[in-house]
Homo-oligomer: A and B are copies of this chain.
Amino acid sequence: MEQNIYDNAHFFKEYQAMRKGTLSANDLIEIPEIRLMMPDLSGKRVLELGCGAGGNASFFIEKGASFYLGTDISVNMINEAKNSFENEKVSFQVLKMEDLSTLQEQFDVIISSLAIHYVADFDKLCKDVYRLLPKEGYFIFSQEHPIGTGTILNEECQKEDKTKIGDKEYYLVSNYNENGKRIVDWNDCKVVKYHRNFSYLINTILLNQFKIVEFREPTPSEELLKIKPKLKNQFDKPYFLFVSLKKE
């Protein structure tokens, strides 16, 4: 039997918003994918690193989490989150990812959605997260994809990370094998990000005793492509990398 996705109330609401151009690749790919990667959340204590305005909190509570703590470096974001949620199981706190050592309690599931690439010291982050997890605890994160974070675009291609040769589009790639700081333009602001190639990520994860559960580089479904054709670019160069780790 075919699935009539258009009669799914949630999808249709998102579909309408998307037709108005308000849904991004984050909404359409990143958020659904990281949620698919979650283990059973019943009774689990959840910590989110870089929670922003707390958009994920209700998902975790609906899935049965006993407690959700959202942390973010931004006071504005945490204030907005606090104003949006009133639930005794949900709590928000201004906290930098660099300062996780101030947390004393443990969490069964620690997640981070598109924030890891703002942290300079990935090794320290792994150590801090490991300490906050019990055995069998999960660390699940998404980040901008390393093929993209490496590339340094010069003035001539600041606005476009691809080029057309003949009738085929190619993405511009450079500096993949030079880990470190990148300063990029985003909404006319300078944003600092940190690029780490795959081998650095994998080896740092393993040196910190995590078990790798899986990596994901998802592509959009045919359904999604019909309504947002631009996402076919995910077959050429994915925006996101997803990682699921476990403490054994």
Chain B nearest CB from A215 CB (Å) reads 4
Alpha-carbon distance between A177 and B171 when the two chains are bound, in angstroms: 13
On whether the beta carbons of B174 and A172 are closer than 8 Å, the reply is: no
- Give chain A's interface secondary structure class: mixed
* Complex interface bits, A140-174 against B, C-beta within 8 A gives 1, otherwise 0: 00000001000110111100000101111111111
Whether A175 is near chain B, meaning CB under 8 Å from some CB there, is yes
Alpha-carbon distance between A203 and B173 when the two chains are bound, in angstroms: 25
The listed residue (B172, B178, B241) touching A171 by CB distance below 8 A is B172
A residues near B (Cβ < 8 Å) are 147, 151-152, 154-157, 163, 165-178, 197-199, 202-203, 206, 212-217, 219, 234-238, 241
On whether the beta carbons of A154 and B165 are closer than 8 Å, the reply is: yes
Chain B nearest CB from A167 CB (Å) reads 7
Alpha-carbon distance between A203 and B176 when the two chains are bound, in angstroms: 22
Tell me the number of copies of this protein.
2
On whether the beta carbons of A170 and B169 are closer than 8 Å, the reply is: no
Contacts of A199 in B (CB 8 A): 214-217, 241
Contacts of A171 in B (CB 8 A): 172-174
On whether the beta carbons of B174 and A203 are closer than 8 Å, the reply is: no
Alpha-carbon distance between A157 and B166 when the two chains are bound, in angstroms: 8
- Nearest-neighbor residue (CB-CB) of A203 within chain B: B214
On whether the beta carbons of A166 and B147 are closer than 8 Å, the reply is: no
Most buried by B among A156, A170, A235: A170
Contacts of A237 in B (CB 8 A): 173-174, 176-177
Contacts of A176 in B (CB 8 A): 147, 235-238
Contacts of A156 in B (CB 8 A): 165-166, 168
Alpha-carbon distance between A156 and B236 when the two chains are bound, in angstroms: 18
Alpha-carbon distance between A202 and B166 when the two chains are bound, in angstroms: 34
On whether the beta carbons of A172 and B175 are closer than 8 Å, the reply is: no
Chain B nearest CB from A172 CB (Å) reads 4
Alpha-carbon distance between A40 and B241 when the two chains are bound, in angstroms: 35
Contacts of A177 in B (CB 8 A): 217, 219, 234-238
Alpha-carbon distance between A214 and B205 when the two chains are bound, in angstroms: 10
Known contacts A175-B236, A197-B217; can you find 15 more A-B pairs with CB under 8 A? A147-B173, A154-B167, A156-B165, A156-B166, A157-B170, A165-B172, A172-B172, A176-B237, A177-B234, A177-B235, A178-B219, A202-B202, A202-B215, A203-B214, A206-B212
